[in-house]
Structure 1
Amino acid sequence: MTSPITAPPKRSAWPYAIVAVFVLFAVYIGSMVYQAMQTDVNLVSADYYQKELAHQQRMNAVARTAALPTPVQVRHDAASRRLTLQLPAALAGQAVQGQVHFFRPSDKALDFTLPLQLAADQRQLINTNKMAPGLWRVQLDFTAGGQAYFLEQDLTVIE
């Protein structure tokens, strides 16, 4: 009697597929770790302490400006194309020095700075004829009586 010829058992591809998936995943994670290790991340600048002090001084100046008895007023009259800066009367009689920065978020080339030159009534008028229409940020940075003050306000210039 002869024994019937039996076919070798069929091998399943599932174990190989599972191992291949794990190997590919390990290679992917390894490449991501390698890439992350090669990336230079500088979260702290060399002069971070000085920058923190400057930021804190700016925040103190903003708080001091907000605490004034009457607010600093920045008004734009589109009809006469003039910007009026009005400091509170509480600062009258003090030596006021500072600058007015005009910052254009959409075009750095249009930014400019003017000196703060107040009249006797604590007011300065600025002509806005040459300013391009659109959004501007007016930053008023000044000192009075040895104290720093800072105000930032958005301004929209219309043709």
Structure 2
Amino acid sequence: MTTSNNQTNKNFTLWPYAIVVCMVLFMGYIASFVYKAMNQDVDLVSKNYYEQEIAYQEHIDKVGRTAAIGDVTLSYSEEAESVLLQLPETLKGKQVQGKITLFRPSDDKLDQELPLQPGRDMSQLIETKNLEKGLWKVRVNFSEGTKTYYTEETIQLK
């Protein structure tokens, strides 16, 4: 009987230990994945995203009014390193107020806001020399009296 008892001790197997080690490694991997996911910085394109979503119908109305008054053009000149904003002639002689936002989708720290100051010919030149190269959105919010308007153009600075 001693010989059969020695044989069972010699048939020692590592399978249960291997399974336990694999499970512990897998749980460690999942825990590290969850830790990294929880510490990931998730930036929305805008800080006030949800508030902007609620006001979207007002935005649609602004865009519609802008289309009705005529063409508001934004044209980028690579040679002059500037963007030319041209408001329609229908606004000439009227009190126009507003702001121009230079929006960088990839980095909100680079965003800039400028006052809208059109000249007598209803145009304004926006310098782009100091802006980083890449994709920018030029957003123009303006009003004349009680009516508000909006236009947006995407430009690629080179």
Name the TM tier (shorter chain).
0.5 to 0.7
CA distance in 2, matches of 1:98, 1:145: 11
1:157 corresponds in structure 2 to 157
Shift of 1:121: 0.7
Given the alignment of the two structures, is residue 63 of structure 1 paired with residue 64 of structure 2, yes or no? yes
CA distance in 2, matches of 1:74, 1:97: 17
1:83 corresponds in structure 2 to 83
SS at match of 2:65: helix
Distance change (3 Å), C-alpha of 1:109 and 1:51:
closer
1:50-95 CA deviation, whole Å, 9 max, x = no partner? 963x322111001111122x31010111001011000000011111
- TM-score normalized with structure 2 length: 0.65
Count of matched residue positions in the alignment of Structure 1 and Structure 2: 109
Greater CA radius of gyration, 1 or 2?
Answer: 1
SS at match of 1:58: helix
For 1:38-57, what aligned pairs fall within 5 Å after superposition? 52=54, 54-57=55-58
For 1:1-159, what aligned pairs fall within 5 Å after superposition? 52=54, 54-68=55-69, 70-158=70-158
1:98-142 CA deviation, whole Å, 9 max, x = no partner? 000011011111011000011111010111000101000111000
Unaligned runs of 5+ in 2: 1-49
RMSD: 1.8
Letter in 2 for 1:62: V
Distance change (3 Å), C-alpha of 1:144 and 1:132:
same
Structure with a larger share of its residues in helix: 2
Unaligned runs of 5+ in 1: 1-47
